[in-house]
Amino acid sequence: MSDQKLKVIPLGGLGEFGMNCMAIRYGDDIIVVDAGMMFPDAELLGVDIVTPDFAYLEENKEFVRALVLTHGHEDHIGGIPFLLSQLNIPIYGTAFTLALVERRLEEHEMLDEARLHRVKPGQKIELGPFHVEFVHVTHSIVSCVALAITTPLGVIIHTGDFKVDPTPTDNVLFDLHTLAEYGKRGVLLLLSDSTNVDRPGYTASERAVLPRFEEIFNRAERRVVVACFSSSIHRLQQILDLAATVGRKVAFIGRSMLSATEIAHNLGLLTIPDNLLLRPQDIMSVAPHKVVCVVSGTQGEPMSAMSRVAVDNHKSLSLERGDVVVHSARIIPGNEKAIGRMMNHIARRGAEVVAGSMNPPIHVSGHGSQEELKLLLNLIRPRYFVPIHGEYWQMSKHAALASHLRSYGLEDTFILETGQTLEIDRHGARKGEKVTVGRICIDSGSIDEIVEDMVIRDRRHLSEDGFVIPIIAIDKHTGKCEGLPEIVSRGFVSMEERSELMASARQVVLRTLETSSNEERTDWGVMQEKIRADLKRFLNKQTQRRPLIMPVILEV
């Protein structure tokens, strides 16, 4: 056995949802598994997306061999343009996953330089000391793989996102056989998805939604509008097949929906019956009982297609009384209010909303429940186990789920958080030193528009206390104030309070000017700081609030 250490370095996705990214290092060789993003929480004002801080990879860029992708969801591929802007490494993934990556790289004008390598389930590649086999798994998006990474110290299995679907719509089963074979030969470390660890039993098959859709399609007297994730190709296939059976035409609406269906169709992953598709611009001219619209924007995103349809602001579709709108997607935590508002707008148009949990279901999860997580643990029987993809409490629960394996060779379970490394050598495994990790906040999706922590702090400050701008005109020859200072405020105090308070504030600024020396008055930097300090003290005393104060001095 080698004296080199094997290190597992989570750069995102452990102890949080989204931003999935993990580096695996052996000696001076590193491979990266996934490079995702997440959408910001309410505190990150004005931020569009959040990616991991790839500083560790940039510091070690001469050692990074490749980026290996498990599947094409945004929380696994959304950070790729930002990673490639720092180090251009080869990328390995299935055809559908790479097609989604290509679209993203095209938006950032980075596709020409990217080195993309297509792989198929069952294929093996060699990346320095790492031998990676791609193992087919089932999930809510097509072409997903787990990774069996053979290292000089043993095999690491990284499940990616998965559920064990016994009846997938494309009839391509989860490759449990290959994982069981690895389990027989011995697995050093298992990294397994923890998303649904709190759900007992098994996650329902993708086919479980069909009875509910059949019921809706058969009883609806007018249009059926289905809001679902554009990446749910299995769901889209069932909708297409069912529409053909009941004699309805299908129109796809939304940029991501059109893009995903085009990619899936070109790769042979989505079969569209002849004469079934309807152009969006023809929806309103076809008899309503003959139409199904499939729309992107399930999370109530402000400018998404479904949000625009809900407020009757979409060029192709206008909801009418008697239409049925089906929300066939999970509610991502944090989006409850936006989705609720969207559904209220839909109901105001007189349409029926079908959403929430029901039996048969209108939506099923893409992540395995407790029995599936146990099944994988029992098949693989690793020496060490690290739960991944989830909040700390979920990973902790997943670790407890594995405790029964201690009599079958499981030596230890580690609950890691982003930045906390795991070291393995011939003596065993232990937590290693932490690496510097963080998150990069990005405005409007551009690589160039990284938002600093200070900017977010200022935005939070503005949102809570508003701002005050004292405007002072000073004679550049005499250094004297020309007239009373003007004070502009927004988001600070109400109109009734403003006049009296601002009159007093003007006097404070005037007093500051009068008590300053001629020398100070000709140094704008000094004067701005003095005015800011005096005004801050006065306003805080009067209102117990701390608005952002930005003095403006005009030379006249």
Q: What residue numbers does the annotated binding site cover?
A: 46, 48, 71, 73, 75-76, 139, 161, 363-367, 389, 443
**Does CATH number 3.10.20.580 belong to domain 466-555?**
yes
DSSP code string of 262-303? HHHHHTTSS---TT-B--GGGGGGS-GGGEEEEE--TT--TT
Q: Beta strands 154-158 and 144-151: pairing type? A: antiparallel
What fold does the segment set 206-354 form as a domain? Rossmann fold (3.40.50)
Q: What is the mean pLDDT of residues 205-221?
A: 96
3-state secondary structure of 384: strand
The percent of residues above 90 in pLDDT, for the chain, comes to: 68
User: Residue 179: is its pLDDT beyond 50?
Assistant: yes
Of residues 520 and 272, the one with the higher pLDDT is 272
- Place 206 in a pLDDT band, splitting at 50, 70 and 90: very high
Domain ranges of the chain: 6-201+365-450, 206-354, 466-555
Q: What residue numbers does the annotated binding site for substrate cover?
A: 363-367
Tell whether the torsion through CA atoms of 317, 318, 324 and 329 is positive or negative: positive
What are the φ/ψ torsions at residue 302 (nearest 5 degrees)? -50, -40
b/e code 452-469 from CB counts within 10 Å (16+ = b): eeeebeebeebeebbbbe
Residue 122: its pLDDT value, please? 97
Instruction: Give Rg (Cα) of the chain.
Output: 29
> Taking a C-beta distance cutoff of 8 angstroms, is the pair 256, 230 a contact?
yes
User: Residue 495: is its pLDDT beyond 90?
Assistant: no
> Taking a C-beta distance cutoff of 8 angstroms, is the pair 407, 18 a contact?
no
Q: What is the mean pLDDT of residues 534-551?
A: 84
Of 359-368, 380-389, 495-504, 534-543, the one with minimum mean pLDDT is 495-504
3-state secondary structure of 342: helix
User: Residue 45: is its pLDDT beyond 70?
Assistant: no
What is the pTM for the complete model shown? Answer: 0.82
Neighbours of 356 (CB within 10 A): 11
Q: What is the mean pLDDT of residues 472-501?
A: 75
User: Residue 43: is its pLDDT beyond 60?
Assistant: no
Q: Please give the structure tokens belonging to residue 24.
A: 């695996």
CA neighbor of 71 nearest in space, from 19, 25, 33: 33
Of 27-31, 234-238, 354-358, 450-454, the one with minimum mean pLDDT is 450-454
For residue range 254-310, what is the model confidence (pLDDT) as tens digits?
A: 999 999 999 999 999 999 999 999 999 999 999 999 999 999 999 988 789 999 999
User: Residue 152: is its pLDDT beyond 60?
Assistant: yes
Residue 505: its pLDDT value, please? 86
For residue range 66-125, what is the model confidence (pLDDT) as tens digits?
A: 999 999 999 999 999 999 999 999 999 999 999 999 999 998 899 999 999 999 999 999
Residue 1: its pLDDT value, please? 46
Q: Please give the structure tokens belonging to residue 466.
A: 């508003």
Q: What is the mean pLDDT of residues 126-133?
A: 97
Neighbours of 348 (CB within 10 A): 12
Question: What average pLDDT is seen over the chain?
Answer: 90
Residue 496: its pLDDT value, please? 63
Q: What is the mean pLDDT of residues 34-63?
A: 81
User: Which residues are tagged catalytic?
Assistant: 193, 367
Q: Please give the structure tokens belonging to residue 113.
A: 């330089």
Q: What residue numbers does the annotated binding site for Ca(2+) cover?
A: 46, 48, 443
User: Residue 17: is its pLDDT beyond 50?
Assistant: yes
Single-letter amino acid, residue 342: M
Q: What is the mean pLDDT of residues 375-391?
A: 95
Element (H, E) at 117: strand 116-118
For residue range 430-445, what is the model confidence (pLDDT) as tens digits?
A: 999 999 887 777 765 5
Whole-angstrom distance, CA of residue 281 vs CA of residue 260:
19
Residue 479: its pLDDT value, please? 66
- Place 46 in a pLDDT band, splitting at 50, 70 and 90: low
Q: What residue numbers does the annotated binding site for Zn(2+) cover?
A: 71, 73, 75-76, 139, 161, 389
CATH of domain 6-201+365-450: 3.60.15.10
Residue 497: its pLDDT value, please? 65
- Place 41 in a pLDDT band, splitting at 50, 70 and 90: low
